């Protein structure tokens, strides 16, 4: 067994207190969308990125801004369009006529929380400009490297309905997102509550409940959460089943699968499971922690063919079948 750092009970209690404050602030403004709130918090804890898919008007932007306000972070919103240039995102060099030299102007991506609205409307060239910053946490302008803030999270949105004038995200781009969430319409009661909150103007900017130092505390603490080798092997078996489903899944499901998860998917599944364990007040990971967010971690890493679309089979169904077929330790 590898050496690991024991997390004390007071540390866990402090982590839960921080998470509770963030959640309470989030749900003061947000109605429903509990899975989105959980995923945003987990993404923040693991310093990962999240892709949100839904039709317009379901509070994706509001959710991102609310989570940023809660921790007093710097927020920037980039509206993606086909004519958006890489320099519009990462920054550029501008000639200073006074000194006759070039000054570097950093782009909006240099913030703690960056909302890329309708990311699939930007060109492939612009999307590729995000690959470096999402993976390396830096931008390159004029041959110089400029790091983004230590706490850095990309929240990208895309509309699954409108496809005209859009560019499908590449597998490499999708794989950079730790989590993908799909939003549905609120219930009738939830929508009435939304109207009431709009009337009461609860969505106006509020006061932060914690600071970025608290977020850093969670990020440092989650790395100390223990995960046994048996649970790691369970993660690998789940991920491997997306790559080689024959002999694991029924034949009627394997025919729909084309590409499975990368190793980055396994790493994300482990990191997310650690965050789930910490939020549940534990310093060790159980198989249930792995299952808790497995759909959010793997749904964009499992590629299905056109036959699946025709037969009404989606990625979540495949993941459910994999969890049922792979025994937990």
Answer whether residue 220 is part of any domain: no
Element (H, E) at 315: helix 315-325
**Same-domain pairing of 233 and 315:** yes
Shared-domain flag, residues 134 and 234? no
Q: Tell whether 146 and 16 lie within a shared domain.
A: yes
Q: Is residue 257 part of a domain?
A: yes
The burial class, CB within 10 Å (0-12 / 13-18 / 19+), for 100 is exposed
On whether residue 206 sits in a domain, the answer given is no
Is the CB of residue 80 less than 8 Å from the CB of residue 73?
Answer: no
Token readout for 280 is 């549940």
- If asked whether residues 123 and 251 sit together in one domain, one would say no
Of 164, 132, 137, 166, the C-alpha closest to 150 is 137
Q: Report yes or no on 196 lying in a domain.
A: no
Closest-CA residue to 179 (of 263, 271, 89, 111):
271
**177 phi/psi in degrees, rounded to 5:** -90, 125
| Whole-number Cα distances in Å, 204 to 28, 57, 197, 200, 311 | 12, 17, 10, 10, 44
**Which of 184, 214, 246 is at the close of a domain?**
184
Going from the C-alpha of 252 to that of each of 89, 136, 224, 311, 326, the distances in angstroms are 44, 40, 41, 11, 17
Per-residue pLDDT of the chain (329 residues; tens, 9 = 90+): 455 678 899 999 999 999 999 999 998 888 888 889 999 999 999 999 999 998 888 888 888 999 999 999 999 999 988 888 889 999 888 888 888 888 888 999 999 999 999 888 888 888 888 888 998 899 988 888 899 999 999 999 988 776 666 777 878 888 999 999 998 888 899 899 989 988 887 777 678 899 999 999 999 999 999 999 999 999 999 999 999 999 888 888 899 999 899 999 999 999 999 999 999 999 999 999 999 999 999 999 999 989 988 998 999 999 999 999 999 98
Residue where a domain stops, chosen among 134, 154, 184: 184
- CATH of residue 254's domain is 1.10.8.80
Written as six digits, the tokens of 147 are 């790091």
- Contact predicate 258/301, CB 8 Å: no
Q: Are residues 61 and 163 in the same domain?
A: yes
Examine the domain organization and report whether 179 and 321 are in the same domain.
Answer: no
Assess if residue 235 is contained within a domain: yes
Nearest to 297 by CA among 50, 84, 44: 50
The count of domains in the chain is 2
What is the rounded CA–CA span in Å between residue 53 and residue 130? 18
Identify the CATH number of the domain in which residue 50 sits: 3.40.50.300
As a whole number of Å, the end-to-end CA separation of the chain is 16
The parent domain of residue 123 ranges over: 10-184
Final residue in a domain of this structure, among 154, 184, 214: 184
Q: Decide if 214 is inside a domain.
A: no
Residue 212 lies in a domain: no
Query: Do 164 and 52 share a structural domain?
Result: yes
């Amino acid at each position: 067994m590898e050496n690991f750092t024991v997390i004390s009970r007071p540390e866990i209690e402090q982590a839960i207190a921080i998470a509770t404050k963030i959640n309470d602030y989030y749900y003061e403004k947000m109605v429903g969308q509990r899975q989105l709130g959980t995923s945003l918090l987990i993404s923040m804890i693991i310093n990962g990125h999240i892709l949100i898919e839904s039709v317009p008007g379901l509070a994706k932007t509001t959710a991102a801004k609310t989570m940023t306000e809660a921790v007093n972070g710097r927020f920037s919103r980039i509206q993606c369009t086909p004519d958006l240039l890489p320099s519009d995102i990462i920054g550029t060099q501008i000639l200073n006529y006074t000194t006759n030299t070039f000054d570097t102007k950093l782009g909006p991506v240099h913030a703690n929380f960056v909302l890329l609205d309708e990311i699939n409307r930007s060109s492939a060239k612009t999307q590729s400009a995000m690959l470096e910053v999402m993976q390396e946490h830096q931008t390159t302008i004029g041959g110089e490297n400029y790091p983004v803030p230590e706490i850095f999270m990309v929240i990208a949105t895309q509309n699954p309905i409108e496809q005209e004038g859009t560019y499908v995200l590449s597998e490499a781009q999708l794989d950079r997102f730790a989590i993908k969430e799909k939003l549905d319409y609120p219930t009738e009661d939830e929508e009435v509550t939304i109207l009431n909150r709009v009337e009461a103007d609860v969505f106006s900017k509020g006061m932060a409940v914690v600071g970025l130092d608290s977020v850093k505390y969670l990020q440092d603490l989650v790395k100390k959460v223990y995960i046994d080798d048996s649970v790691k092997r369970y993660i690998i078996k789940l991920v491997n089943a997306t790559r080689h489903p024959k002999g694991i899944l029924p034949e009627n499901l394997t025919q729909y699968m084309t590409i499975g998860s990368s190793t980055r998917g396994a790493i994300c599944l482990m990191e997310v499971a650690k965050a789930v364990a910490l939020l549940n007040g534990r310093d060790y990971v159980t198989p249930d922690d792995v299952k808790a967010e497995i759909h959010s971690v793997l749904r964009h890493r499992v590629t299905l063919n056109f036959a699946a679309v025709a037969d009404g089979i989606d990625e979540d169904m495949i993941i459910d079948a994999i969890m049922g077929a792979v025994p937990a330790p």
